[in-house]
Chains A and B, each alone.
Chain A
Amino acid sequence: MRLITHNMLQCHVKGCTKDNFPLKLEEIEIEELEAEFNADFIKSMLNRLDWKALAQTTFSLGIAQLPEEMPEELSDEMLEQLHHILLEIDITSGRMVCQGCNHVYPIRNGIPNMLLTESEV
């Protein structure tokens, strides 16, 4: 799971509406990938990202220290850094924990399992 995907996933346990995003990554293993750098793609994703969540996640993983708010103008270096963060960091295993209800979503073989149990939907 790349961090761009992580930035789009929230806890969806029934009734969990507070602090259900972003999911906290724990005990994770990371593999670095190489993805095609494409400034246009990164730019087109900017208004679809939740910047605050991205800054929080990258900080807690010790990957990068992004400004708290999305800068109005993004330098080429910043775009490249975002490209690396969003597309080249692949979480191969670990878990995502909801900060609202403590629900745990496991990640195995790079695939997060977002299924709920029958009592949670």
Chain B
Amino acid sequence: MIPYLVYFVQFHEDFRIQELEALAKLENVKIKFNREDYSNENPFFIVELESDEDAKRLIRRSILIKHIIQLWTSGNDYPEVYKNLKSFDPEKYKPYETSTFKFMVETYNGTRTMKEQVDIINTFSFLPFTGSIDLKKPDNTFMVLEKYPAPTEPPCKIYMGKLVGSGDRQLVAKYDLKKRKYLGTTSMDAELSLIMSNMALVRQNSLVLDPFVGTGSFLITCSHYGAFTLGSDIDGRQIRGKGKTSIATNIEQYNMKKKVLGTIVSDMAHHPWRNNGELFDAIVTDPPYGVRAGAKKIGLNTDKYDAPPPTKRDAMNPRYPLTVPYEMEQVLIDLIEFASKYLVVGGRLVYWLPTNSEEYNKNDIPQHPSLKLIANSEQSFGKWSRRLITMEKVKKYEDIRLTGEGNTGHYQFRQFYFYGKDGEQKQENNKKEQPKDELESEKVKKSKHE
């Protein structure tokens, strides 16, 4: 196998290696790496692959990888790098000798001026490349990557190799919420939605369900990757939207009517999916845990509420059943149980779980005998976090009722978030603690109204 250097972006660090692993599975690429070498503080990661084609395929859908480089050499300083390059068998350079090329310098935790970059590139002139330099469309791009211990110190590690492939971060701008016509307060930002589609192994012809569809962010990103998508939500107003915009507007905006199959109004606690089949390849969702959008389900206990007596209603009359708060614990149990039943074997459930950072313990992640925990990535907001949980169905459904016992990290999470640990009600939520996507969508909403 051949060594390659993966060059990650410096965002969502806790999601990077998980995305890489998901992509290797999705693209069926043989990969070897030492997980202990990975660190959230280091954007460079060495993996072994069988070919440039595999490397290119591996990261073509990546949101969190900038580039992949066929690693020629590395060293703690430049003389070491030059020495290694000079020691190679001249045959290695033969394929590149007459082709056009360019060099690029990338730095991490330090900077180089344009002039410094050119000077570095010139020190590689000993390489036997006789082809002309082409900055726009070179046959080959060679990269020098520097890692600095601190911006004021010299680089402590230098990598050199041939650029083989790049990720697909342009999609983040393409599906940017700011450009989306229909938004809600909980619309998931494009970057995380795309990462979730990768984690869920969503591909051409997958059938994907979002059972808490909201404004439909996941329908858009999953269908981008060729999946046929379905959404459901208890809140029909979210689906139908306000005035002229709705989920349908977004589907039209991105020209996905051929792939988004539609939405239904239904309650996750009492859902109508046919109960004798494994229907979905993936379930990708952000359940409403009550932090930003309180979860609701249809009420059972009618004497607690001022309920109208049940009458035989005219079918076409709007139906507004009573709803009661849907405890987070129960949302989770229903979701996991649903996934264990309705996913095909090999299918994935990808969902968000908010946790109280102080009390979190990894045993808080609900388990199911049919579902294997694949990844658990944290996005921290200080006192609380949300975790992206990826589970894969490994065997057919077994009817085991889940118990929520001992799941304290998310248990009564809503209470903690709103009331603080000592029960004091917070006057207002600290803006810093709010997820970025919410703030962004709020801004967008504001600007739309202006």
**Interface residue ranges, A against B (CB under 8 Å):** 1-2, 4-5, 7-12, 21, 33-36, 38, 40-41, 44-45, 48, 50, 87, 90, 95, 104-106, 108-121
- Known contacts A5-B264, A40-B205, A41-B205, A119 near B302 by CB under 8 Å: yes
Q: How far is the CB of B238 from chain A (nearest CB, A)?
A: 11
Q: Does B328 contact A (CB under 8 A)?
A: no
CB 8 Å contact bits of B249-278 with A (1 = contact, 0 = none): 000000001110111111101111111111
24 A-B interface contacts by CB (under 8 A): A1-B264, A8-B273, A9-B264, A10-B272, A11-B272, A12-B270, A34-B258, A48-B277, A50-B277, A90-B262, A95-B316, A104-B315, A105-B272, A106-B319, A111-B263, A113-B265, A113-B319, A114-B266, A115-B265, A115-B266, A115-B319, A118-B299, A118-B302, A118-B307
Checking A11, A106, A119 against B316 with a beta-carbon cut-off of 8 angstroms, the contacting residue is: A106
**Interface residue ranges, B against A (CB under 8 Å):** 204-205, 207, 228, 230, 232, 234, 236, 239-240, 257-259, 261-267, 269-279, 298-300, 302, 307, 310, 313, 315-316, 319, 321-322, 344
Q: How far is the CB of A73 from chain B (nearest CB, A)?
A: 20
Known: A9-B274, A115-B298, A115-B319. 16 other contacts (CB 8 A): A1-B264, A5-B264, A8-B273, A10-B272, A10-B273, A38-B204, A40-B205, A41-B228, A44-B207, A50-B274, A50-B276, A111-B262, A114-B266, A116-B321, A117-B298, A121-B300
The answer to whether B205 and A38 touch across the interface, beta carbons within 8 angstroms, is yes
Could you tell me the distance between the alpha carbons of A112 and B278 in the complex, rounded to whole angstroms?
21
Q: How far is the CB of A27 from chain B (nearest CB, A)?
A: 9
- Known contacts A33-B257, A95-B315, A115-B266, A9 near B272 by CB under 8 Å: yes
Q: Please name all residues of chain A whose beta carbon is closer than 8 Å to the beta carbon of B269 when the two chains form the complex.
A: 121
Q: How far is the CB of A113 from chain B (nearest CB, A)?
A: 5
- Known contacts A48-B278, A111-B240, A5 near B262 by CB under 8 Å: yes
- Known contacts A45-B207, A110-B262, A116-B298, A121 near B319 by CB under 8 Å: no
The answer to whether A44 and B205 touch across the interface, beta carbons within 8 angstroms, is yes
Q: How far is the CB of A118 from chain B (nearest CB, A)?
A: 5
Specify the main secondary structure of chain B where it touches its partner: loop
Q: How far is the CB of B279 from chain A (nearest CB, A)?
A: 5
Could you tell me the distance between the alpha carbons of A2 and B259 in the complex, rounded to whole angstroms?
12
The answer to whether B298 and A121 touch across the interface, beta carbons within 8 angstroms, is yes
The 4 A-B residue pairs whose C-beta atoms are closest, nearest first, are A104-B315, A119-B310, A114-B266, A41-B205
Q: Please name all residues of chain B whose beta carbon is closer than 8 Å to the beta carbon of A119 when the two chains form the complex.
A: 302, 310
Q: Please name all residues of chain A whose beta carbon is closer than 8 Å to the beta carbon of B310 when the two chains form the complex.
A: 117-120
Write the chain B residue with the least CB distance to A45.
Answer: B207
Q: How far is the CB of A89 from chain B (nearest CB, A)?
A: 12
Q: How far is the CB of B225 from chain A (nearest CB, A)?
A: 13
Write the chain A residue with the least CB distance to B209.
Answer: A8
Q: How far is the CB of B276 from chain A (nearest CB, A)?
A: 8
The answer to whether B234 and A115 touch across the interface, beta carbons within 8 angstroms, is yes
Q: Please name all residues of chain B whose beta carbon is closer than 8 Å to the beta carbon of A12 when the two chains form the complex.
A: 270-272
Write the chain A residue with the least CB distance to B264.
Answer: A112
Could you tell me the distance between the alpha carbons of A34 and B258 in the complex, rounded to whole angstroms?
7
Q: How far is the CB of A90 from chain B (nearest CB, A)?
A: 8
The answer to whether A2 and B261 touch across the interface, beta carbons within 8 angstroms, is yes
The answer to whether A114 and B274 touch across the interface, beta carbons within 8 angstroms, is no
The answer to whether A10 and B321 touch across the interface, beta carbons within 8 angstroms, is no
Q: Please name all residues of chain B whose beta carbon is closer than 8 Å to the beta carbon of A44 when the two chains form the complex.
A: 205, 207
Q: How far is the CB of B90 from chain A (nearest CB, A)?
A: 48
Q: How far is the CB of B115 from chain A (nearest CB, A)?
A: 52
Q: Please name all residues of chain B whose beta carbon is closer than 8 Å to the beta carbon of A9 when the two chains form the complex.
A: 264, 272-274
Q: How far is the CB of A95 from chain B (nearest CB, A)?
A: 5
Q: How far is the CB of B176 from chain A (nearest CB, A)?
A: 25
Q: How far is the CB of A66 from chain B (nearest CB, A)?
A: 18
The answer to whether A114 and B298 touch across the interface, beta carbons within 8 angstroms, is no
Q: Please name all residues of chain B whose beta carbon is closer than 8 Å to the beta carbon of A120 when the two chains form the complex.
A: 310
Q: Please name all residues of chain A whose beta carbon is closer than 8 Å to the beta carbon of B272 when the two chains form the complex.
A: 9-12, 105, 114
Could you tell me the distance between the alpha carbons of A90 and B273 in the complex, rounded to whole angstroms?
19
Write the chain B residue with the least CB distance to A102.
Answer: B312
Checking A4, A111, A121 against B236 with a beta-carbon cut-off of 8 angstroms, the contacting residue is: A111
Q: How far is the CB of A1 from chain B (nearest CB, A)?
A: 6
Q: How far is the CB of A22 from chain B (nearest CB, A)?
A: 9
Could you tell me the distance between the alpha carbons of A115 and B264 in the complex, rounded to whole angstroms?
10
Could you tell me the distance between the alpha carbons of A4 and B262 in the complex, rounded to whole angstroms?
10
Q: How far is the CB of A12 from chain B (nearest CB, A)?
A: 5
Q: Please name all residues of chain A whose beta carbon is closer than 8 Å to the beta carbon of B240 when the two chains form the complex.
A: 109, 111
Could you tell me the distance between the alpha carbons of A35 and B261 in the complex, rounded to whole angstroms?
10
Write the chain B residue with the least CB distance to A7.
Answer: B274
Write the chain A residue with the least CB distance to B323.
Answer: A118
Q: How far is the CB of A37 from chain B (nearest CB, A)?
A: 10
Q: How far is the CB of B244 from chain A (nearest CB, A)?
A: 13
The answer to whether A113 and B236 touch across the interface, beta carbons within 8 angstroms, is yes
The answer to whether B266 and A106 touch across the interface, beta carbons within 8 angstroms, is no
Could you tell me the distance between the alpha carbons of A108 and B313 in the complex, rounded to whole angstroms?
16
The answer to whether B279 and A48 touch across the interface, beta carbons within 8 angstroms, is yes
Could you tell me the distance between the alpha carbons of A34 and B257 in the complex, rounded to whole angstroms?
9
- Known contacts A9-B272, A41-B205, A117-B321, A36 near B259 by CB under 8 Å: yes
